[in-house]
Structure 1
Amino acid sequence: MQQTLKPAAEGLRTRVFQIIFESDTPLGKGFDVALIIAILASVGVVMLDSVAAFRTQYGTWFYWLEWGFTLLFTLELAVRLYCLERPFQYLRSFYGIIDVIAILPTWLMLIVPGAHSLVVVRLLRVLRIFRVLRLMQFVGEGRLLLEALRRSVRQIFLFFFSIFMLVTIFASVMYLIESPEAGFTSIPQSIYWAIVSLTTVGYGDVVPITPLGKAITVILMLIGYSIIAVPTGVFSAQVIRSIREERYSDEACPGCGHDRHEKRAKYCLQCGTWLDEESEDPNATGPQG
């Protein structure tokens, strides 16, 4: 979405657009670095404020720092909208939504009721951790990871659906075998036990007591060990595929037909043929008489 954004007009807005949305200039890179530091610092303040000892001693500092970061990010969002031709297009994008989420909780605190609503305020403050998601726009390789996730959605969904059927079957069997005293009071409770066992976490709050139940638990744990790498393998394969498509070209060599060349390659790796058919080989020699 960000690649389709355009500046509002020539002049100051275009210059501001180049600084904020592009990073191929010294000012643009400096803006990105400063914004990253501000995001990390604001998230650090939220984390420290969640520690009771720090909040008791430095609560006032955290409060004013939070308002400082909120005003800074609010101003940044306003400048972004100011320099865009279609500001609402950015607000509907992923990073635009994250920008709004990052500043909204603090402003909501102004209208939230007082002492009896402190719990609500604390819940709203947690939303500010979403600022860290904005760091994704500064990572060039993040696009490859998102592309790999997009391609893996169907396989991962099929994997989780299969896991859900597996844990439902095991949970139903254990509900029939084990007694409520062991913790298997319902099929949903048994599904919870099956998921904990399949992931080899084993909290120990629901434990089979019959020999048959223990044997089924062992089988479920072994299955968990054997399939835990499946989604990782699927995602890794898609990441490798994305990297290859980013680096290599599918165009075949006009000489030998080899089609796995780097996009910057000028000559075929196999036969040395000039690959760009739209231009002449600068090193080619003319016909000899």
Structure 2
Amino acid sequence: MQQATKKLWLERGLDTLLFVITIASLAVSFWEEAPSWIGLPILLTFVFFFFIRWKIDDDSHAYLKANWFDLALIVLLASPLLRLLVAFKVAGLAPIVRIGSFLRTNRKRILNMLIVSGESLPAAMALVFAVVFFFGSVTFLLERGENPDFSNISDGLWWAFVTLTTVGYGDIVPITPPGRIVAVLTMLFGITLYSLMIANITYFVEEIGANKRRNSQPLQALTKTLTGEMHAPKVRRPRKLRIRKKLLKSRYE
């Protein structure tokens, strides 16, 4: 049982790690001044952990069959093909390709993160940062060139984080109609994610208490048994049996 639990934690941890690496790959693709060599370490790291996840799966053949296209998308995302698109003046499609690839690659992991359980708490926290990055990037792409407040990707991420947390400083606001539509969606996602986080934390705390109670039950039962034996009243034999025992004893003496 403990081995199965450890394996489940390992699988969840690797899924979360692959999710984070995918976000890093997406972030680097948006970084216009990124060094040309930085994509290769991210790609190799993803491939390394992908194959570890594949090896520990109960049905490795089914896992590879279900996720081979995800691996191909990540390789494509980190390949020089997107730089070739820039050279042909169609780089405007690249962000859409990146975000679409990101959603396609991590659809199962995102759905697993929405499951309320103590094991999904770290993944749910990773999902919060992923949503910040997603909405911040989309809003930056929509507002760039028309809104001076969104001068770089960090402005979009700051706006998304402030909006998702419902703080709303108002220092950066979208002004284009598509940007405002995304802002409304960001607010709705912020409310949903807060509900998800609270539910996961509550479940996590309750699960810890339930595990402590389950672990203490055998000890309590043993304590009650020992206490009952120590304080149990002595059983007196019937009077006839005592008299018969005395007679037998006196006869042999």
Shorter-chain-normalised TM-score: which range? 0.3 to 0.5
TM-score by length of 1: 0.35
Question: Over alpha carbons, which structure has the higher Rg?
Answer: 2
TM-score by length of 2: 0.39
